[in-house]
Every structure is written in structure tokens, then in C-alpha cells.
Amino acid sequence: MYIAAATDRVSIAPSWPRAAVAEIRRLGEVPAANVGDALQRMSVMDGGIRRFAGSAALLGNALTVDVRSGDNLAIHRALDEARPGDVLVVNGHGDLTRALIGDLIGEIMVNGGVAGAVVDGAVRDVRALSEMGLAVYARAVTPAGPFKDGPGAIGVPVAVGGVVVAAGDVLVGDSDGVVVVPRHRVPEVVDAVDGIGANEEALRRRILAARPGRTVVDR
């Protein structure tokens, strides 16, 4: 850690499996909505979780953290466990009074190759986080900083945006929001998303063909 603080009250789960980049790449190339549809429109975070930083799609394995409201000690400790391609997923218990992530944690995330963060709580320094290339989703922005006392837990299932996220699940996010793909369902969802896109495109062409004065040319 880059801060001097005792972490004896922060528990860390044993290691967990992560999906390989090649295994999940396709999920980052399609709309998050299509990924949600492949999951029967389940495992989609509620609309209160919005993107505040970054413009690129979010894709990666969940590095889960449970914190006390307004306290980010466990986040600092979790980043020691981060691997390239991870997404920090934090249950901040919906607290909007203290930002759990800011630009300094963002710098640590960049050092570890972390792709972004999803926080059920607040963040700050969103312009700086965007400039770092991080995709950050949260419920709110506030300039108020956090405490660093603990307790917390790392690598445990957490509730974020109304969805349970386990360490190693795959997070897919874009301007619409965030979808959680359970680790064991990744192959199934990868296989399904192209068919969903093709069906939507076929319906779109039918809709456009029926528009008055509109000619649709087959390609």
C-alpha cells in the first residue's frame, strides 16, 4: 500500500479464477444491452450506477471489495491484489457523503493495469480519472474525501447496483450502464451476443422499411 495504515481488520479471500482476455474480448465489442439480453435481462445493475469518467467500454474481471460506508482503507489494500484487466467493484452501501475513489487511487489503479471501477457509492476527481483513461461508474460525485479506518473485505461477493458480484465475474459497461456476467456463464454469453445483435438488426431493417418514403437497400 502507498498509505501508512493498519489493515488487520481487512480480510482477504483466497485467490479466485479470472477469465483470460481472449475469452471475454467479444463482450467488450458489443453493446452492454446485448450482453444483458443474453443473460435474460438479469444481472444488469440499476440505473443509479452511472458512468462519471472515461468514454471507452469497460471490460474486465471483478476485484470485489466490501467497505464500511465512507471508508476506503480496504480499497487501498485491494489494489495490492490487483492484476492487469481487473475492474474494482466496491460495495459502498450506497453512501453518497464520502468519495471512495479519487485521482490518487486512480494513479494506483493505472500502475496495476486496472481497467476501471464500479462503486455503489460516490467518487471524486472525475476529470483526472478520465484523463487517466479509467472508466469509473458510481452513484454520485462529491468532493468530500473518505476515512481510512476499516474494516473491509476483499474477494468476497458484494452487492452493487442491485446485483451480486463475485470475484472473477466479468463486468461489461458502456454509456448505458453495467452488466455482470457470472464467471461460469461467460462462454454461453459470448456465444449468444452475436445472434442477439443479428436479430435486432433484422428487426431494425423491417422498421426502417416500413417508414414512409424510406427505401432500404440490401447489402
Span 60-104, pLDDT tens digits? 999 999 999 999 999 999 999 999 999 999 999 999 999 999 999
Strand segments (E) across 35-115? 50-53, 58-67, 86-101
4 SS3 class = coil
Q: Which residue has the cell 459502498?
A: 92
Which range is least confidently modeled, 28-42, 71-85, 111-125, 195-209?
A: 195-209
How buried is 178 (Cβ within 10 angstroms: 0-12 exposed, 13-18 middle, 19+ buried)?
A: buried
Residue 198 lies in a domain: yes
15 SS3 class = coil
The helix (H) or strand (E) run that includes residue 192 is helix 186-209
- Cα separation, 102 vs 166, in Å, equals 24
* 200 vs 69 pLDDT, higher one: 69
Check residue 197 and give its pLDDT: 87
Residue 45 lies in a domain: yes
Check residue 147 and give its pLDDT: 97
Give CA angle at 182 (50, 122), nearest 5°. Answer: 25
Mean pLDDT of 197-219: 80
pLDDT higher than threshold 90 for residue 213: no
Q: Where are the alpha helices (DSSP H) in the chain?
A: 21-24, 32-38, 73-78, 103-111, 126-131, 186-209
Cell matching residue 36: 444483458
Q: How many CA atoms lie within 13 A of 101 on its CB side?
A: 39
Residue 5 lies in a domain: no
CATH of the domain at 127: 3.50.30.40
Q: Are 181 and 170 in contact (CB under 8 A)?
A: yes
* 215 vs 2 pLDDT, higher one: 2
Check residue 219 and give its pLDDT: 52
* 212 vs 213 pLDDT, higher one: 212
Q: Which domain holds residue 64?
A: 10-209
Check residue 135 and give its pLDDT: 98
Check residue 97 and give its pLDDT: 98
pLDDT higher than threshold 60 for residue 170: yes
pLDDT higher than threshold 80 for residue 215: no
Residue 3 lies in a domain: no
Residue 214 lies in a domain: no
Q: For 126-137, what is each residue's pLDDT tens digit?
A: 999 999 999 999
pTM of the model: 0.94
pLDDT higher than threshold 90 for residue 34: yes
Quote the number of domains for the chain: 1
| Helix, strand, coil percent content, the chain, rounded in steps of 5 | 30, 30, 40
Q: How far is CA 80 from the centre of its chain?
A: 18
Beta-bridge mates of residue 148: none
Check residue 143 and give its pLDDT: 98
Nearest to residue 167, comparing CAs of 64, 90, 83? Answer: 64
